[in-house]
Amino acid sequence: MNKPVDAKPASSSKSSSNLPKSGSDDPLYLQLARTLKNEIVSGKYPVGSLLPTEDNLCERFSVSRYTVREALRILRDDGLVSSRRGAGTLVIPPSSNASDIHQVMSINDLVAFASDTHFVINPITMIKIDDKQSGRTGLPLNSEWLQVSGYRHGRESSTPVCWTEYYINRDFAAVGRLLQRQSGPIFPLIEDMFGLKIAEVQQQISAALITAELAEVLKVEAGSPALIVRRTYKTSDDKVAQVTINVHPASRYQHSMTMRRVKA
Protein backbone atom coordinates (compact mmCIF):
# COMPACT_ATOMS: atom_id res chain seq x y z
CA MET A 1 0.00 0.00 0.00
CA ASN A 2 1.31 3.38 -0.91
CA LYS A 3 2.08 5.73 1.99
CA PRO A 4 0.21 9.07 2.17
CA VAL A 5 2.01 11.89 0.45
CA ASP A 6 2.20 13.89 3.71
CA ALA A 7 2.73 11.74 6.75
CA LYS A 8 3.57 14.68 9.06
CA PRO A 9 1.18 15.50 11.89
CA ALA A 10 -1.16 18.41 11.27
CA SER A 11 0.38 21.75 12.20
CA SER A 12 -1.05 23.51 15.24
CA SER A 13 -2.60 26.95 14.86
CA LYS A 14 0.33 28.29 16.82
CA SER A 15 2.95 27.10 14.39
CA SER A 16 0.94 28.27 11.39
CA SER A 17 0.37 31.81 12.62
CA ASN A 18 2.02 34.79 10.98
CA LEU A 19 3.17 36.32 14.26
CA PRO A 20 6.83 37.34 14.53
CA LYS A 21 9.03 34.48 15.71
CA SER A 22 9.99 35.20 19.31
CA GLY A 23 10.86 31.77 20.68
CA SER A 24 8.10 32.25 23.26
CA ASP A 25 5.78 29.47 24.38
CA ASP A 26 3.16 32.03 25.44
CA PRO A 27 -0.39 31.55 24.12
CA LEU A 28 -1.07 33.09 20.74
CA TYR A 29 -3.29 35.83 22.16
CA LEU A 30 -0.43 37.06 24.38
CA GLN A 31 1.95 37.07 21.43
CA LEU A 32 -0.58 38.99 19.36
CA ALA A 33 -1.20 41.50 22.16
CA ARG A 34 2.57 42.08 22.42
CA THR A 35 2.88 42.59 18.67
CA LEU A 36 0.00 45.09 18.52
CA LYS A 37 1.31 46.93 21.59
CA ASN A 38 4.71 47.33 19.93
CA GLU A 39 3.05 48.69 16.80
CA ILE A 40 1.05 51.20 18.86
CA VAL A 41 4.11 52.35 20.82
CA SER A 42 6.20 52.63 17.63
CA GLY A 43 3.60 54.94 16.09
CA LYS A 44 2.23 52.62 13.42
CA TYR A 45 -1.17 53.16 15.04
CA PRO A 46 -1.07 56.66 16.63
CA VAL A 47 -3.52 58.03 19.20
CA GLY A 48 -6.86 58.65 17.53
CA SER A 49 -6.43 55.95 14.89
CA LEU A 50 -8.37 52.70 14.57
CA LEU A 51 -6.79 49.27 14.72
CA PRO A 52 -7.62 46.92 11.84
CA THR A 53 -10.90 45.04 12.16
CA GLU A 54 -11.08 41.63 13.82
CA ASP A 55 -11.42 39.99 10.40
CA ASN A 56 -8.35 41.82 9.09
CA LEU A 57 -6.30 40.84 12.13
CA CYS A 58 -7.42 37.21 11.80
CA GLU A 59 -6.33 37.20 8.16
CA ARG A 60 -3.06 39.07 8.72
CA PHE A 61 -1.83 36.85 11.57
CA SER A 62 -3.62 33.61 10.59
CA VAL A 63 -5.24 33.29 14.00
CA SER A 64 -8.77 32.69 15.26
CA ARG A 65 -11.29 35.34 16.19
CA TYR A 66 -11.01 34.18 19.81
CA THR A 67 -7.26 34.91 19.75
CA VAL A 68 -7.86 38.40 18.35
CA ARG A 69 -10.56 39.23 20.89
CA GLU A 70 -8.42 38.08 23.81
CA ALA A 71 -5.49 40.16 22.54
CA LEU A 72 -7.72 43.24 22.23
CA ARG A 73 -9.03 42.63 25.75
CA ILE A 74 -5.45 42.79 27.05
CA LEU A 75 -4.85 46.06 25.20
CA ARG A 76 -8.03 47.50 26.75
CA ASP A 77 -6.95 46.35 30.22
CA ASP A 78 -3.59 48.05 29.65
CA GLY A 79 -5.36 51.31 28.76
CA LEU A 80 -4.03 51.39 25.19
CA VAL A 81 -7.33 51.09 23.31
CA SER A 82 -11.07 51.38 23.76
CA SER A 83 -13.73 49.49 21.86
CA ARG A 84 -17.23 50.60 20.94
CA ARG A 85 -19.70 48.42 19.10
CA GLY A 86 -19.96 49.49 15.49
CA ALA A 87 -17.07 51.96 15.81
CA GLY A 88 -14.08 49.63 16.02
CA THR A 89 -11.06 49.64 18.34
CA LEU A 90 -9.61 53.10 18.97
CA VAL A 91 -6.06 53.87 20.16
CA ILE A 92 -6.46 56.19 23.15
CA PRO A 93 -4.13 58.53 25.06
CA PRO A 94 -2.57 57.29 28.30
CA SER A 95 -4.77 57.87 31.32
CA SER A 96 -3.69 59.43 34.60
CA ASN A 97 -5.20 58.99 38.05
CA ALA A 98 -3.60 62.19 39.31
CA SER A 99 -5.16 64.65 36.90
CA ASP A 100 -7.21 65.05 33.78
CA ILE A 101 -4.56 64.86 31.05
CA HIS A 102 -5.69 65.55 27.49
CA GLN A 103 -3.66 64.79 24.40
CA VAL A 104 -6.42 65.70 21.97
CA MET A 105 -5.41 64.95 18.39
CA SER A 106 -8.78 64.07 16.84
CA ILE A 107 -12.51 64.04 17.54
CA ASN A 108 -12.08 60.36 18.43
CA ASP A 109 -9.94 61.36 21.42
CA LEU A 110 -12.96 63.18 22.87
CA VAL A 111 -14.77 59.85 22.80
CA ALA A 112 -11.88 58.19 24.62
CA PHE A 113 -11.77 60.86 27.34
CA ALA A 114 -15.49 60.86 28.08
CA SER A 115 -15.69 57.06 27.93
CA ASP A 116 -13.06 56.92 30.67
CA THR A 117 -15.20 58.95 33.10
CA HIS A 118 -18.65 58.69 34.68
CA PHE A 119 -21.16 61.52 34.25
CA VAL A 120 -23.46 62.30 37.20
CA ILE A 121 -26.41 64.16 35.66
CA ASN A 122 -28.54 66.85 37.25
CA PRO A 123 -32.11 67.43 35.98
CA ILE A 124 -32.43 67.80 32.19
CA THR A 125 -34.43 70.83 31.04
CA MET A 126 -35.34 72.71 27.85
CA ILE A 127 -34.28 76.36 28.18
CA LYS A 128 -34.22 79.63 26.27
CA ILE A 129 -30.73 81.10 26.06
CA ASP A 130 -30.49 84.31 28.10
CA ASP A 131 -27.86 87.05 27.88
CA LYS A 132 -25.43 85.38 30.27
CA GLN A 133 -25.75 81.96 28.65
CA SER A 134 -25.39 83.47 25.18
CA GLY A 135 -22.09 85.05 26.19
CA ARG A 136 -20.80 81.80 27.71
CA THR A 137 -21.95 79.45 24.93
CA GLY A 138 -21.90 81.61 21.82
CA LEU A 139 -25.48 80.53 21.09
CA PRO A 140 -28.17 82.92 19.79
CA LEU A 141 -30.20 84.83 22.36
CA ASN A 142 -33.68 83.35 23.01
CA SER A 143 -32.96 80.19 21.01
CA GLU A 144 -34.13 76.92 22.63
CA TRP A 145 -31.68 74.22 23.68
CA LEU A 146 -31.77 71.11 25.83
CA GLN A 147 -29.59 71.79 28.88
CA VAL A 148 -27.85 68.87 30.61
CA SER A 149 -25.47 69.53 33.49
CA GLY A 150 -23.55 67.57 36.08
CA TYR A 151 -20.04 66.51 36.96
CA ARG A 152 -17.65 63.87 35.73
CA HIS A 153 -15.42 61.68 37.87
CA GLY A 154 -12.92 58.96 37.03
CA ARG A 155 -13.85 55.30 37.01
CA GLU A 156 -11.46 54.64 39.88
CA SER A 157 -12.17 57.78 41.94
CA SER A 158 -15.17 59.73 43.19
CA THR A 159 -13.24 63.03 43.05
CA PRO A 160 -14.87 65.22 40.38
CA VAL A 161 -12.75 65.80 37.28
CA CYS A 162 -14.86 68.72 36.05
CA TRP A 163 -18.28 70.35 35.98
CA THR A 164 -19.95 69.91 32.60
CA GLU A 165 -22.83 71.69 30.88
CA TYR A 166 -24.28 70.40 27.60
CA TYR A 167 -26.46 72.53 25.35
CA ILE A 168 -28.06 70.26 22.73
CA ASN A 169 -29.82 71.60 19.63
CA ARG A 170 -33.59 71.26 20.07
CA ASP A 171 -33.72 69.32 16.78
CA PHE A 172 -31.82 66.56 18.57
CA ALA A 173 -33.48 66.93 21.98
CA ALA A 174 -34.95 63.40 21.78
CA VAL A 175 -31.50 62.15 22.77
CA GLY A 176 -32.35 63.30 26.31
CA ARG A 177 -34.40 60.12 26.83
CA LEU A 178 -31.20 58.06 26.71
CA LEU A 179 -28.90 60.15 28.86
CA GLN A 180 -29.66 58.67 32.27
CA ARG A 181 -28.16 55.41 31.03
CA GLN A 182 -25.27 57.07 29.18
CA SER A 183 -21.85 57.25 30.85
CA GLY A 184 -19.74 58.26 27.83
CA PRO A 185 -19.95 61.23 25.46
CA ILE A 186 -23.28 62.46 24.12
CA PHE A 187 -22.45 63.42 20.54
CA PRO A 188 -22.08 59.78 19.35
CA LEU A 189 -25.66 59.22 20.50
CA ILE A 190 -26.79 62.16 18.37
CA GLU A 191 -24.91 60.72 15.41
CA ASP A 192 -26.47 57.27 15.89
CA MET A 193 -30.04 58.51 16.49
CA PHE A 194 -30.19 61.02 13.65
CA GLY A 195 -27.83 59.48 11.10
CA LEU A 196 -25.40 62.38 10.94
CA LYS A 197 -21.71 62.94 11.60
CA ILE A 198 -19.93 65.54 13.68
CA ALA A 199 -17.42 66.96 11.22
CA GLU A 200 -15.78 69.68 13.32
CA VAL A 201 -15.25 70.57 16.97
CA GLN A 202 -14.15 74.12 17.79
CA GLN A 203 -12.43 74.45 21.17
CA GLN A 204 -11.85 77.56 23.26
CA ILE A 205 -9.96 77.57 26.58
CA SER A 206 -10.11 80.46 29.04
CA ALA A 207 -9.26 81.12 32.69
CA ALA A 208 -11.71 81.88 35.49
CA LEU A 209 -12.24 81.63 39.23
CA ILE A 210 -14.44 78.90 40.68
CA THR A 211 -17.70 80.13 42.20
CA ALA A 212 -18.77 79.15 45.69
CA GLU A 213 -21.53 76.95 44.24
CA LEU A 214 -19.18 74.98 42.00
CA ALA A 215 -16.44 74.86 44.64
CA GLU A 216 -18.65 72.66 46.81
CA VAL A 217 -19.38 70.28 43.93
CA LEU A 218 -15.77 70.10 42.73
CA LYS A 219 -14.34 69.87 46.27
CA VAL A 220 -12.01 72.84 45.94
CA GLU A 221 -11.81 76.30 47.54
CA ALA A 222 -14.09 79.04 46.26
CA GLY A 223 -12.14 81.57 44.22
CA SER A 224 -9.47 79.05 43.23
CA PRO A 225 -8.33 79.11 39.60
CA ALA A 226 -10.11 77.10 36.93
CA LEU A 227 -9.92 76.53 33.21
CA ILE A 228 -13.09 76.77 31.15
CA VAL A 229 -13.12 74.58 28.05
CA ARG A 230 -15.89 75.33 25.56
CA ARG A 231 -16.43 73.00 22.62
CA THR A 232 -18.82 73.63 19.76
CA TYR A 233 -19.78 70.53 17.77
CA LYS A 234 -20.78 71.12 14.15
CA THR A 235 -22.23 68.81 11.51
CA SER A 236 -20.98 68.66 7.92
CA ASP A 237 -23.52 71.33 6.90
CA ASP A 238 -22.14 73.70 9.59
CA LYS A 239 -25.10 73.24 11.95
CA VAL A 240 -24.33 73.47 15.67
CA ALA A 241 -25.47 70.18 17.19
CA GLN A 242 -24.10 70.67 20.68
CA VAL A 243 -22.07 73.01 22.86
CA THR A 244 -20.28 71.79 25.98
CA ILE A 245 -18.72 73.85 28.74
CA ASN A 246 -16.33 72.08 31.11
CA VAL A 247 -15.06 73.78 34.27
CA HIS A 248 -11.80 72.17 35.40
CA PRO A 249 -10.01 72.99 38.67
CA ALA A 250 -6.60 74.18 37.47
CA SER A 251 -4.80 71.78 39.81
CA ARG A 252 -6.44 68.80 38.07
CA TYR A 253 -6.08 69.81 34.45
CA GLN A 254 -3.31 69.54 31.92
CA HIS A 255 -3.70 69.99 28.18
CA SER A 256 -1.01 68.80 25.79
CA MET A 257 -0.85 68.70 22.01
CA THR A 258 1.47 67.26 19.41
CA MET A 259 2.00 69.40 16.32
CA ARG A 260 3.72 68.10 13.19
CA ARG A 261 4.90 69.98 10.14
CA VAL A 262 2.77 69.18 7.08
CA LYS A 263 4.71 68.70 3.88
CA ALA A 264 3.83 71.25 1.22
Confidence label for 1 from pLDDT (cuts 50, 70 and 90): very low
| Fold adopted by 100-255 | Chorismate lyase (3.40.1410)
Residue 230 DSSP SS3: strand
For position 11, what pLDDT does the model report? Answer: 37
Is residue 21 over pLDDT 70? no
179 in the Ramachandran plot: left (φ > 0), alpha (ψ -120 to 50) or beta? Answer: alpha
For position 5, what pLDDT does the model report? Answer: 40
How far apart CA 4 and CA 195 sit, in angstroms, is: 58
Amino acid in the structure at residue 151: Y
Quickly list H helices, the chain. Answer: 28-41, 54-61, 65-77, 107-115, 131-137, 187-194, 212-218
Contact 140, 129 (CB under 8 A): yes
Is residue 29 over pLDDT 80? yes
Determine what percent of the chain is predicted with pLDDT higher than 70: 78
How far apart CA 206 and CA 250 sit, in angstroms, is: 11
Amino acid in the structure at residue 11: S
For position 125, what pLDDT does the model report? Answer: 95
Amino acid in the structure at residue 70: E
Confidence label for 152 from pLDDT (cuts 50, 70 and 90): confident
Arithmetic mean of pLDDT, 176-194: 84
Q: Using alpha carbons, select from 193, 188, 206 the residue that is nearest to residue 242.
A: 188
For position 109, what pLDDT does the model report? Answer: 57
Amino acid in the structure at residue 42: S
- Asked if domains 1-92 and 100-255 share a fold, the reply is no
Is residue 261 over pLDDT 90? no
Radius of gyration of the chain (CA): 23
User: β-strand 144-154 against 100-102: which pairing, if any?
Assistant: unpaired
- Sign of the CA dihedral 117, 121, 125, 127? negative
Is residue 104 over pLDDT 60? no
**Between vectors from CA 68 to CA 65 and to CA 69, what angle results, nearest 5°?**
85
Domain range list for the chain = 1-92, 100-255
Query: Candidates 3.40.50.620, 2.70.98.10, 3.30.70.20, 1.10.10.10; correct CATH number of 1-92?
Result: 1.10.10.10
For position 137, what pLDDT does the model report? Answer: 96
Give this prediction's pTM.
0.58
**Between vectors from CA 96 to CA 255 and to CA 159, what angle results, nearest 5°?**
95
> pLDDT per residue over 52-103, tens digit each?
999 999 999 999 999 999 999 999 888 889 987 777 899 987 654 444 444 4
> pLDDT per residue over 108-119, tens digit each?
556 555 556 678
Is residue 126 over pLDDT 60? yes
For position 167, what pLDDT does the model report? Answer: 97
Confidence label for 221 from pLDDT (cuts 50, 70 and 90): very high
Is residue 203 over pLDDT 80? yes
Contact 64, 13 (CB under 8 A): yes
> pLDDT per residue over 8-19, tens digit each?
333 333 445 778
- Using CB atoms within 10 Å of the CB of residue 228, give its burial: 0 to 12 exposed, 13 to 18 middle, 19+ buried: middle
